[in-house]
């Protein structure tokens, strides 16, 4: 019985394949007709342009943030007699000008012989400063000392490169160690 089922199944498969063969021929004929009717329109690709390398000429120029350029700018500023920074560059730097202002903290004040002094803590060392002393990296000059703060005048460059004065202050740090 299984042999009859196998033979019958094989005959059905052969009949199906033979029936599909005629449809396959029709499909192939239709595809050929469509291919002949339709012509592709492909735009030709333009030939590649020749690459002309350019010599990099800025290698010999001065870097915009170099020390050399800054030195030239400072010398030009010094040549201007009214320049605020010219006087600052000609004086000897004080020890507290080596530290940024934000690394200092005011821990107290003292008056001796009528002169007001502020006590500053920098890198676990205590310094005593008075009006007229300099501190910070922006030519900060102490203008006024009170019991609670130090008022400074700093000289900095603005966005246009001009040297301008700006106020700064150090506040008394309660409980600073």
Chain segment 98-125, per-residue pLDDT in tens = 999 999 999 999 999 999 999 999 988 9
pLDDT of residue 128: 93
Comparing 8 with 97, which gets the higher pLDDT? 97
Banded model confidence at residue 145, pLDDT cuts 50, 70, 90: very high
pLDDT > 70 fraction of the chain, expressed in percent and rounded: 85
Nearest CA to 110 out of 150, 147, 135 is that of 147
What are the start-end ranges of the H helices in the chain? 2-37, 67-79, 84-89
Q: How far apart are CA 70 and CA 64, in angstroms?
A: 9
Q: How far apart are CA 58 and CA 124, in angstroms?
A: 46
pLDDT of residue 34: 87
pLDDT averaged over every residue in the chain: 82
Is pLDDT of 21 > 90? Answer: no
Is pLDDT of 26 > 90? Answer: no
Q: Contact at 8 Å (CB) between 119 and 106?
A: yes
Banded model confidence at residue 3, pLDDT cuts 50, 70, 90: confident
> Which tokens is 39 given?
């012509």
> Cα–Cα distances in Å, from 24 out to 18, 20, 27, 28, 59?
10, 6, 5, 6, 71
Task: Kindly report the pTM of this predicted structure.
Answer: 0.53
Q: How far apart are CA 173 and CA 35, in angstroms?
A: 89
Q: How far apart are CA 64 and CA 109, in angstroms?
A: 43
Q: How far apart are CA 163 and CA 64, in angstroms?
A: 18
Comparing 97 with 80, which gets the higher pLDDT? 97
Residue-wise pLDDT tens digits, 31-71: 888 888 887 788 888 999 999 988 888 777 767 777 777 77
> Which residue bears the tokens 């012989």?
113
Comparing 147 with 65, which gets the higher pLDDT? 147
Q: Contact at 8 Å (CB) between 137 and 154?
A: no
pLDDT of residue 82: 54
């Amino acid at each position: 019985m299984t042999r009859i089922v196998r033979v019958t199944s094989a005959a059905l498969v052969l009949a199906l394949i033979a029936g599909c063969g005629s449809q396959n021929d029709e499909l192939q004929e239709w595809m050929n007709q469509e291919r002949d009717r339709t012509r592709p329109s492909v735009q030709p690709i333009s030939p590649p342009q020749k690459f002309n390398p350019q010599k990099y000429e800025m290698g010999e120029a001065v870097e915009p943030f170099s020390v050399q350029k800054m030195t030239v700018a400072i010398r030009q500023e010094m040549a201007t007699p009214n320049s605020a920074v010219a006087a600052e560059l000609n004086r000897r730097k004080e020890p507290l000008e080596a530290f940024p202002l934000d690394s200092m903290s005011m821990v107290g004040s003292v008056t001796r012989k009528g002169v007001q002094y502020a006590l500053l803590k920098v890198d676990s060392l205590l310094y005593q400063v008075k009006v007229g002393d300099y501190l910070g990296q922006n030519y900060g000059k102490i203008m006024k000392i009170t019991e609670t703060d130090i008022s400074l005048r700093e000289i900095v460059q603005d966005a246009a490169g001009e040297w301008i004065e700006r106020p700064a202050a150090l506040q008394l740090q309660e409980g600073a160690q």
